[in-house]
Amino acid sequence: MSQREGESSGTLLQHSVVVALAVIVLVHSLLIALWLAPSGPLRSGTGPGFVSRYVDPYFKQSWTSLDPSSQRVDERLRIRARVRDSAGGEQLIETPWVDVTATDVDAVHLDLTPPRVRLIARRLATNVNATYLDLDREGRAAAQKNFVHTLDSGSRLRAALRIAGVSAAEAGSYVNNDRMVVRFASLYAVARWGSGVQQVQYSAGRRVAPERGDGSIDDVPFVDSAFGWRRLVRPPASAQQTFDDYVTAAPSGEVN
């Protein structure tokens, strides 16, 4: 074989390999497109289960990697309060839980530019869950205690966490998040139930979406962690007045 014939044979082989790879990529892309497409004549025409057998188990491609914009984790913040009765006595009346995150979702439905205040509750729940779930059983039990007898409940909470064996860094992170939620809950509670509010309690919930085909994230119940009662933090009048408008504009959001 001459040198020219060898070069021609090598070029032909390279072209064949490139064409074969292009065909494989094209067929693979078409099958993935069929896998993602809704049910219809085109998908049904490939034969029952053919596309599913190709994608799974051979490639084990997670639908989350093909649909990165889908919601995988949902978190919520619930708040309730203890309010002094209208007669001015010492008895405190517990309010129902209010799902603040749900009221925010309802308020911004179809709103392309939602106000940032509607993002606060979910963000607080996310931050609390991140630090709370890092605690061990003793640490979580300490976080669920009541701290209602002093103005600086954060210092007592930090001490309780440290006694429970939580590291200084972990205790500090959780206490910082707890303080932020208590301030938010105090503003919300006074705006909703009036100046008779004495104590607030919050609950952070979390749920994870099921695998594709097993339902949507709305079918999954929240796993809620209720924390102890905290003494109300009295905010400045100007801050409370601004917050009143936010709460007034929200739906009721009450849950059992």
In terms of domains, do 37 and 107 share one? no
Domain hosting 7: range is 3-61
Write the pLDDT tens digit of every residue in 174-186.
Answer: 999 999 999 999 9
Regarding whether 80 and 32 lie in a shared domain, the answer is no
Q: Are 158 and 177 in contact (CB under 8 A)?
A: no
The number of distinct structural domains making up the chain is 2
Q: Is the pLDDT of residue 11 over 90?
A: no
**Claim to verify: residue 86 and residue 171 sit in the same structural domain:** yes
- In this structure, the answer to whether residues 176 and 199 fall within a common structural domain is yes
Residues 53 and 176 in one domain: no
- pLDDT at position 66 is 46
**Is there a single domain that holds both residue 211 and residue 91?**
yes
pLDDT at 41: 60
Q: Do 117 and 39 share a domain, yes or no? A: no
Per-residue pLDDT for 42 more than 70? Answer: no
> Residue 169 above 50 pLDDT?
yes
Residues 31 and 87 in one domain: no
Most confidently predicted of 47-56, 163-172, 206-215: 163-172
Whether residue 144 sits in one domain with residue 25: no
Q: Is residue 20 over pLDDT 50? A: yes
Asked whether residue 67 is domain-assigned, the answer is no
Do 179 and 111 sit in the same domain of this protein? yes
Same domain, 20 and 89: no
Residue 68 counted as domain residue: no
Judge whether 22 lies within some domain: yes
Q: Residue 37 — pLDDT band, cuts 50, 70, 90? A: low
| 82 & 107 share domain | yes
Read off the pTM: 0.67
Distance CA 250, CA 118 (A): 10
